[in-house]
Amino acid sequence: MPPLDTFAHRITDGTVALYFNCSRPAPGIVRVDGWANNPYYPRPIMDLELILYGVNAQGTNVSQAKVSTQSYNIETNEPSPFTVDLRTAGSEVRYDLVYQYWVGALAKMSRGE
């Protein structure tokens, strides 16, 4: 994983820590590029999915893209990269990043903005 100071954003829920940057690599594309880590949890985080929503001024989702991390199981301190490319609709005023994963028999969902 690159040094933490190379990431503009960080989200953590106590089990998963996401480090990422946002960019516009081409017209009509928003990219969230980063790493997911399991810094403390003693069991693997499984099937981590990230969904990036483009939201308009009325609060409606007008675009979305979903990806999984490169690794299905993220063991303690074994980070996994991810890249989400969202094709925009053109009316977005903000972007919400939502993620979900399994730990044991429990599913967790969190939202980062």
CA 4 to chain centroid: 16
List pLDDT tens digits, range 2-58. Answer: 888 899 999 999 899 999 999 999 999 999 999 999 998 889 999 999 999 999 999
Angle at 25 between CA 51 and CA 111, to 5 degrees: 20
Prediction pTM value = 0.86
CA distance 92 to 80: 28
| Measured CA distances, 42 to 10, 46, 77, 111 (Å) | 21, 12, 10, 23
